[in-house]
Amino acid sequence: MDDLLRITFVGHVSKDINKTPADTKTIPGGGVLYGSIAAARLGAESIAVTKFAREDEHLFEIIPQSGVVLQRLDSRTTTSIENIYKSSNSDERESRVISLAESFKKSDVEDIKSEAIVINPLWHGEFPERLLSVVREGTDLLIGDAQGFLRNVKEDGKMVYTIWEERFEYMKMFDIFKVDAKEARTLTGKTDILEACKEIREMGVKIVLLTHKNGICVYNGQRMYGAPFRTWTLEGRTGRGDTCTAAFVVGLKKHPLQKATELAARITSEKMQYAGPYLGQNHV
C-alpha cells in the first residue's frame, strides 16, 4: 500500500435542520458528508457513494468542492432530518425524519474497491445488512457506524434507538465499529463506557471506537486507549462521530493506536468549534 489512503464512505447525505436552545440552522449534513470531507482535508483520497435527488445537487456541492470524489446514485427523494438539542449534553438529541432517500441495493455497491470502506447509514434499513458481505470483499478495512443499525424510523418520523437484533451475525464483519455513549448503552445496556467497549468487542469487531461528551475511547481487546476533547460548541456537535471516525482511520495509516486516537480527538475538537464539516487547521 502507498502512503495515500483510499477511503470510501457509503451512506445517505441529509438536509439537516439543527435546533439548539439558541438557534435553528438548515445545512447539508449526513455522516458521509462530514466523514468524507474530513478525510479529504486530512490528505486521504476520499470518495463518497451516496443517494439524493438530482434537484438537491446544489446543496451538496461542498462535497466535491472539498476534494472528495462524489458518486451520486439517483433517488427520487433526499433524506432530510431535524436534530433537536435541548440541553448542553451533546450525547442527548432527538431526531425526526422529514423525508428519506431510497435504500442501497447490491448493484450500488458491488463494484466498490477501496483500502478502507466506511458504512455510515443514517437509519436502519438504508444499508441492508446482506450488503455487508458484498462490500467486505472489496476492502482490507471495513468500518461501521452503529447509528445506521440502531436508529429506526417510526411512522410519525421520530427516530428511536433500539437493539440491533442481527448484531451477532454481522458485527464480526467489521474491523472497526464506531459508537457514541448512547449507542453503546443501547447495544449493551451498560452506562459505564469502558465496560460497554469491552462487551461490544466481544460481539466480534476487532476495534471499538467510542465517542462521548468528554472524548474518545478505543478498545482492541488488549488495551483501552483514550484522548479528551477540548472545549466545543453545541452547534458544532453534529458530525462529531463522523469526523472522529475519518480522522482515526486516516491516522491509523501512519500511527499506532494511541497516536491515532489523540489525532482523532484533536481534529474532532477543532471541528466542534463550528457548524458544518471540518475546515482544516488553517481555518480554526
- Three-class DSSP category at 61: coil
CATH homologous superfamily of 6-273 equals: Ribokinase (3.40.1190.20)
Contact 80, 14 (CB under 8 A): yes
Question: What does the buried/exposed string (b/e) look like for 232-249 if buried means 16 or more CB atoms within 10 Å of the residue's CB?
Answer: bebbbbbbbbbbbbbbbb
Grade residue 284 by pLDDT with cuts at 50, 70 and 90. very low
Beta sheet of 14-19, edge-to-edge order: 24-29, 14-19, 80-84, 94-99, 158-161, 151-153
User: Which amino acid is it at 46?
Assistant: S
Q: Alpha-carbon distance 207 to 221, whole Å?
A: 7
Closest by CA position to 65, among listed 99, 37, 105 = 37
Q: Alpha-carbon distance 244 to 261, whole Å?
A: 9
Contact 175, 248 (CB under 8 A): no
Q: What's the chain's Rg over C-alpha atoms?
A: 17
Contact 66, 35 (CB under 8 A): no
pLDDT digits (tens, 9 = 90+) for 130-165: 999 999 999 999 999 999 999 999 999 998 999 999
Query: What's the mean pLDDT in 183-196?
Result: 96
pLDDT of residue 1: 43
pLDDT of residue 234: 76
Cell numbers standing for residue 83: 436534530
pLDDT of residue 17: 85
Query: What angle, 0 to 180 degrees and rounded to 10, lies between the N-to-C axes of helices 240-252 and 31-41?
Result: 40
pLDDT digits (tens, 9 = 90+) for 262-271: 999 999 999 9
pTM of the prediction? Answer: 0.92
